Amino acid sequence: MIGESELVALIEPLDAEALQRWIDLGWVLPHQDDEDLHFDSADVARVRLICELHYELRIEEDSMTVVLSLMDQLYAARRALGALTSAVAAQPEGVRKDIAAAVDQRRH
Amino acid sequence: MADPYQILGVSREAKSDEIRNAFRALAKKNHPDLHPGDKAAEARFKDIASAYAIIGDETKRALFDSGKIDASGADVHQAPPHGSYRQHAEAEPDFKYDRQWRGGAGGINEDLFAELFGRQSRTNSRGANINYSFAVPFIEAIIGAKKRVVMGDGKALDIAIPAGLKDGQILRLRGQGQPGFGGTDAGDALVEIHVDPHPVLRREGNDIYSTVPVTLGEALGGAKVPVETVSGMVNLAVPKRSNSGTKLRLRGRGVPSKSGAGDHVVTLEIVLPTSPDDEFIQSVVQWEAKHPYNPRKVSGA
């Protein structure tokens, strides 16, 4: 976990005002106790990504909201699929084969 | 490694903004965080980023063009790793960014599992945030205010406008969004505040600007004139021999802030009488005939 000023110092194009705006918009969700904000490694990676999308790829605020929303949905879906896949993998071989056959049938 | 010009699809003579645009277009199509699991896109993105690291940088481009570094020359100086967000977003089982959006991105998948296993959706997701927007008068945004506002959806919000609020600033009201499910926290209300313009006052940073009309006599002879400021009327001392365009600074009468309040800068504007009589006109014209001056001539020109 790192604080707000450390994060701003860590990521080059970032300034405190932009970070505050992204937090206000709900793009970044730091942990908060009293007045202090704490960013975990996922928050840092996310801020880095938003910086890249904004400063390098010039995605502006309105579009960014759409991009992040779709991205979050994509990852949520991938994690759900991952959970399902590992649950299937833990089944006996006969069950796995039945499921695989049923999935193939629907995909082709 | 392939030729960086070829990778970005630009000519060797391309201008730097042409290269930048080509990079942006390709990077958007192939960014690994936006294409999780697509190995081909990831590989393409690496090539695109490496190519841009060379020919997107004037110095390295010159070195590359003159054959002093090869196409992999920039690999050593790679910028922060691209695509690291994905590791977090895919690894953490109950990822907080799932529930960021109205309804919650996680909700989609909960429905999927509910259907699959014939059970109720897991009811632990925090309520969604609600976005609101409303406008406040100019002065309230400067000095701060507390107000109760009824929003379009009928929800009444008690909003504390902080002193010095900027146009477009968002206030987060914790727990004022959609209720949570199964005893979890409600979401937040995100209120975007717009500041109405003021007929006289204008804000730049923490300073306030206004123009105040004065008579010819007030400007030349000096006067005290009442001036509207963010903290009410103030008597401004106009010094003798002032002119149209003279700027006077009211220290500390600007926007309050942690680092001390800004100033209010008043620009004087001399206004002649609306219907000057012959006496006034003659005296000015006769004076000018004796003391000609050219206000359009720049001094020293």
3-state secondary structure of B207: strand
Given the candidates 1.10.287.110, 1.10.357.10, 1.10.3720.10, 1.10.287.90, the CATH classification of the domain at B4-89 is: 1.10.287.110
The band of B99, judged by pLDDT with boundaries at 50, 70 and 90, is low
Q: B87 or B251, which is more confident?
A: B251
How many Å lie between the alpha carbon of B92 and the closest alpha carbon of chain A?
Answer: 9
Write down the pLDDT at residue B177: 86
pLDDT digits (tens, 9 = 90+) for B186-207: 888 889 999 999 999 999 999 9
Residues A65 and A54 in one domain: no
Domain boundary among A59, A76, A95: A59
Residues A40 and A70 in one domain: no
Average pLDDT, chain B: 85
CA distances from B44 to B31, B35, B36, B39, B90 (A): 9, 11, 13, 9, 21
For CA atoms B28, B33, B37, B43, give the dihedral sign. Answer: positive
Query: Which of A31, A65, A79, A84 to probe the B interface (max B CBs under 10 A)?
Result: A79
Residue B243 sits at the vertex; the CA angle it makes with B242 and B247, to the nearest 5 degrees, is 80
Write down the pLDDT at residue A54: 94
Pairwise CA distance, residues B69 & B81, whole Å: 22
Write down the pLDDT at residue B124: 57
Cβ(B186)–Cβ(B176) below 8 Å: yes
Cβ(B122)–Cβ(B176) below 8 Å: no
Please tell me which of B16-25, B141-150, B245-254 the model is most confident about, judged by mean pLDDT: B245-254
Residues A54 and A3 in one domain: yes
**B235: part of which helix (H) or strand (E)?**
strand B232-238
Write down the pLDDT at residue B112: 67
pTM comes to 0.60
Residues A1 and A50 in one domain: yes
Residues A49 and A77 in one domain: no
Write down the pLDDT at residue B40: 87
Strands B207-214 and B202-204: antiparallel
Write down the pLDDT at residue B249: 96
Q: Give me the mean pLDDT over the B221-241 stretch.
A: 95
Residues A41 and A28 in one domain: yes
Pairwise CA distance, residues B21 & B10, whole Å: 10
Q: Do domains B98-195 and B202-290 have the same CATH topology?
A: yes
**Residues on chain A touching B84 (C-beta within 8 angstroms):** 45, 48-49
Residues A9 and A42 in one domain: yes
Domain span at A77: 61-108
CA B155 to chain centre: 28
Task: Kindly state the tokens that stand for A6.
Answer: 């450390």
Write down the pLDDT at residue B252: 93
Pairwise CA distance, residues B164 & B160, whole Å: 12
Chain B residue with the nearest C-alpha to that of A80: B109
Write down the pLDDT at residue B81: 58
**Partner-chain residue, chosen from A42, A56, A80, that has the shortest CB–CB distance to B112:** A80
Residues A65 and A39 in one domain: no
Task: Kindly state the tokens that stand for B112.
Answer: 């999927």
CATH number of B202-290: 2.60.260.20
Q: B123 or B246, which is more confident?
A: B246
pLDDT digits (tens, 9 = 90+) for B41-87: 888 888 898 889 888 888 888 888 877 777 766 444 444 556 678 88
Residues forming a β-bridge with A38: A31
Q: Do B109 and A79 touch (CB under 8 A)?
A: yes
Residues forming a β-bridge with B189: B130, B173
Residue A22 sits at the vertex; the CA angle it makes with B201 and A13, to the nearest 5 degrees, is 95
Look at chain A and report how many structural domains it folds into.
2
Task: Kindly state the tokens that stand for B231.
Answer: 């903290």
**Partner-chain residue, chosen from B27, B86, B190, that has the shortest CB–CB distance to A26:** B190
Among B54-58, B166-170, B296-300, which is the least confidently predicted range?
Answer: B296-300
Strands B264-270 and A36-38: unpaired
Pairwise CA distance, residues B69 & B286, whole Å: 79
ipTM of the complex: 0.78
Domain boundaries, chain B: 4-89, 98-195, 202-290
Given the candidates 3.90.1300.10, 2.60.260.20, 3.30.930.10, 2.40.30.270, the CATH classification of the domain at B98-195 is: 2.60.260.20
Cβ(B125)–Cβ(B180) below 8 Å: yes
Residues A68 and A53 in one domain: no
Which parts of chain A register pLDDT below 70? none
For CA atoms A28, B128, A62, A17, give the dihedral sign. Answer: negative
Residues A71 and A21 in one domain: no
In this structure, the number of other CB atoms found within 10 A of the CB of residue B117 comes to 8
Domain boundary among A59, A81, A99: A59
pLDDT digits (tens, 9 = 90+) for B273-290: 999 999 999 999 999 999
Write down the pLDDT at residue B23: 92
The band of B253, judged by pLDDT with boundaries at 50, 70 and 90, is very high
The band of B218, judged by pLDDT with boundaries at 50, 70 and 90, is very high
Query: Which of B85, B102, B113 to probe the A interface (max A CBs under 10 A)?
Result: B85
Write down the pLDDT at residue B234: 94
Residue B243, CB-side half-sphere exposure with 13 Å CA sphere: 2
In this structure, the number of other CB atoms found within 10 A of the CB of residue B23 comes to 22
For CA atoms B233, B234, B235, B236, give the dihedral sign. Answer: negative
Write down the pLDDT at residue B76: 44
Domain boundary among A42, A59, A76: A59
Write down the pLDDT at residue B109: 62
pLDDT digits (tens, 9 = 90+) for B100-130: 554 454 555 666 676 677 655 555 567 788 8
